[in-house]
Amino acid sequence: MAKPKTPVQVIKEASKNKKLVLGTKTVLKGLKNTTINQVFCASNFPEQTRKDLNHYAGLSNVKIEEFGGNSSKLGEACGKPFKILIVGIQK
């Protein structure tokens, strides 16, 4: 049986396939348009914005997963030299 992929593996694969969406505004927009099917957020994601994210993710039936690291680690996982709070994977 295949071993489940870690969040880092999923993010790197999506980045390679050009299906990675970075940033709060674009991820929320993608959730509203139902073009995103998976979301990873950093451990230091702001609580107020998380409420909006949970609302739109619930409407789109998208599961929000905790990345397991802060925004610096999420940026590294995406291969970017800056901090990233949230990423989405397009359908």
Per-residue pLDDT tens for 15-67?
Answer: 899 999 999 999 999 999 999 999 999 999 999 888 989 999 998 899 899 99
Helices (H) and strands (E) in the chain, counts: 4, 4
- Sequential DSSP letters for 30-61: HHHTT-EEEEEE-TT--HHHHHHHHHHHHHHT
Residue 1: predicted pLDDT: 64
* Residue extents of the structural domains in the chain: 7-90
Per-residue pLDDT tens for 66-83?
Answer: 998 999 999 999 999 999
**Claim: this prediction has a pTM higher than 0.85:** yes
How far apart are the C-alpha atoms of 68 and 28, rounded to whole Å? 21
CATH classification for the domain delimited by 7-90, as one of 3.30.1330.30, 1.10.10.10, 2.40.50.100, 3.30.420.40:
3.30.1330.30
